[in-house]
Amino acid sequence: MKKNNPLIINAWCMYDWANSVHALVIVASIFPVYFSATALSASGTLEINFFGYEIKSSILFSYTVSISFLITAALIPLCTAIADFTGRKKRFMKFFCYTGAVSCMLLFFFTKETLTSSILIFGLSLIGWSGSIVFYDSYLPEIATEDNFDRYSARGFSMGYLGSVLLLLFNLSMILFPAFYGITDKGTPARISFFTVGVWWILFAQIPFRYLPAPVKNGKQRKGNWVFNGFRELKKVYIELQEQPYLAKFLSAFFIYTMGLRTVMYIATIFGATELKLPSQSLIITVLLIQLVGIVGSFAFAWLSGKLGNIHALMIGVAIWIGICTGAYYTTEAMEFYVLACTVGMVMGGIQSLSRATYSKLIPENTKDTASYFSFYDVTEKLAIVVGTFIYGMVEQLTGSMRNSILALLVIFILGLILLYRIPSQKVYRYGLGDGEG
């Protein structure tokens, strides 16, 4: 298959367009705000009953994210190994996609009376979203040449930002002007928004499902149980990873800084609603601004990596995150929160897209087991989310303050910066100016 085919590249980017509405509407904006307003006790306090346990709603939100990604981390290595072994990568991608999208539709029924089941459905939507991403990411080295990884990865994230913003604008119009749509119940616009995420996701996912190439089977004799063959393939990739020193170092650094980055992504809106008591509409509009700034940020970091190299560009991004956490700890006013939010938007997508591109460059060239390789990347990311959100929730639970959780994230980012410093810049060693590894 010829790489850099514009039709296939654009179709690949459309999955970012399709699935990013989950990250924006469900994870970052409308759902957290609705959750904060709905997940209350009968007396209106934040302490709610969940399967017989009294727990603060914001802590439950963090733990739900942790458990969901822990489940995903357990499933993905098995699924990706089988996908590589049988050539069914696209089928697995569809399964997780439809699982996540249908879960979003079911959130339409989220009310105070269905709180427990709705939290479980929210967790299932996270599993579906994160599970589909690993198969989506693994297509990049199959359809593009290395010199285009940064650019195409940034294009995908930017398409995701743009598509999710369009749907959020529609959903926001329902929330701000419900009478125009004939809606009288104040909670209905948010619940309709959850349903539209699932419809949008399924609808636009048909484009990559139609044009992405059929996966290549690994060509080995497929005898015996697929499950055990899948584990054997996964073990083989694990051994190969140990022989890639820069890849191992990058995954270590990636695990640490992603722990902080993705935790902020999942709890920022909850922080604004619970700690700063910001109005719901202001929070949603703020997240919208983050998306718009994120489009610029994705391309800015792709440009920066071309000038300085991937690792140095990532170090700059992580250093900015250290400043963000420092500022967040002292934030008490709405305007301070908005300024920090715009800064988050500038570095959020840029670091994510650049991390994906950097890993694509570091995996062995001409490998056919891309799904298995990307399972390590995505499992690393999922475990980072598990640990990060758990630490955030645990610190809040032990100390009673989200601000102390912010300090924990600050330490995480500092450690991530130190680990990145140990890696030669991608621009240096990839093109023969260093020791030739990578």
Q: Tell me: the pLDDT tens digits for 95-130?
A: 999 999 999 999 999 999 999 999 999 999 999 999
Q: Is the separation of the CB atoms in 361 and 312 below 8 Å?
A: no
Asked if 218 contacts 84 with a C-beta cutoff of 8 angstroms, the reply is: yes
- pLDDT of 379 higher than 90: no
Q: Indicate the pLDDT class of residue 221, thresholds 50, 70 and 90.
A: very low
The residue-averaged pLDDT of 56-80 equals 87
What the block records as the tokens of 140 is 């990049």
Length of the chain: 438
Tens of pLDDT along 134-158? 888 888 888 888 788 878 887 887 7
pLDDT score recorded for residue 429: 43
Phi-psi region of 224 (alpha: psi -120 to 50; beta: other; left: phi over 0): left
Contact in structure between 101 and 202 (CB atoms under 8 Å): yes
Q: Provide the 8-state DSSP code for 214.
A: P
CA angle 145–149–154, rounded 5-degree value: 145
pLDDT at residue 431 in the model: 39
Does 306 have pLDDT greater than 50?
yes
6-211+238-429 maps to CATH 1.20.1250.20: yes
CB 110 within 8 A of CB 38: yes
Query: For position 342, what pLDDT does the model report?
Result: 83
Q: In 3D, which of 139, 175, 190 has the Cα closest to residue 15?
A: 139
Of the listed ranges 32-36, 78-82, 329-333, the one predicted with least confidence: 78-82
- Domain ranges across the chain: 6-211+238-429
Each residue's pLDDT tens digit, 311-335: 899 999 999 999 999 998 888 888 8
pLDDT of 28 higher than 60: yes
Higher pLDDT, 222 or 383: 383
pLDDT at res. 231: 63
Element (H, E) at 70: helix 57-86
Bridge partners of 49?
Answer: 54
Q: At what angle do helices 226-242 and 57-86 cross, to 10 degrees?
A: 100
Please report the pLDDT score of residue 229 as a whole number.
Answer: 61
pLDDT at 192: 96
Strands of 41-199, DSSP E: 47-50, 53-56
Token output for 374: 């990307």
Work out the pLDDT band at 165, boundaries 50, 70, 90. confident
Q: Model-level pTM?
A: 0.78
Angle at 386 (CA atoms; ends 301, 252), nearest 5 degrees: 55
CA 384 to CA 355: how far, in whole Å? Answer: 14
Structure tokens at 324: 């963000």
pLDDT of the residue at 59: 87
CA distance 323 to 319: 7
Number of C-beta neighbours around residue 276 at 10 A: 16
Cβ neighbours of residue 306 under 8 Å, at least 6 residues apart? 150
Here the tokens at position 244 are 């890639």
Range 229-245 average pLDDT: 70
Per the structure block, which two tokens stand in for 32? Answer: 């957290």
Q: What is the pLDDT of residues 404-432, one digit of tens each?
A: 989 999 999 999 999 999 887 655 444 33
Tokens standing for 113?
């009376």
| Higher-pLDDT residue of 428, 185 | 185
Q: In whole numbers, what is the pLDDT of the chain averaged over residues?
A: 83
What pLDDT was estimated at residue 234? 60
The predicted-structure confidence for 191-217, as pLDDT tens digits, reads as follows 999 999 999 999 999 999 999 987 656
Which H helix or E strand runs over 139? Answer: none
* pLDDT value of residue 134: 82
Q: Percent of the chain scored above 90 by pLDDT?
A: 33
Measured CA to CA, the distance from residue 194 to residue 114 in angstroms comes to: 15
- Give residue 358's pLDDT: 85
pLDDT at position 437 over 90: no
**Alpha-carbon distance values, 185 to 171, 199, 219, 287, 342 (Å):** 15, 22, 57, 24, 32
The CA distance from 149 to 337, in Å, is: 33
Q: How many CB atoms lie within 10 A of CB 61?
A: 25
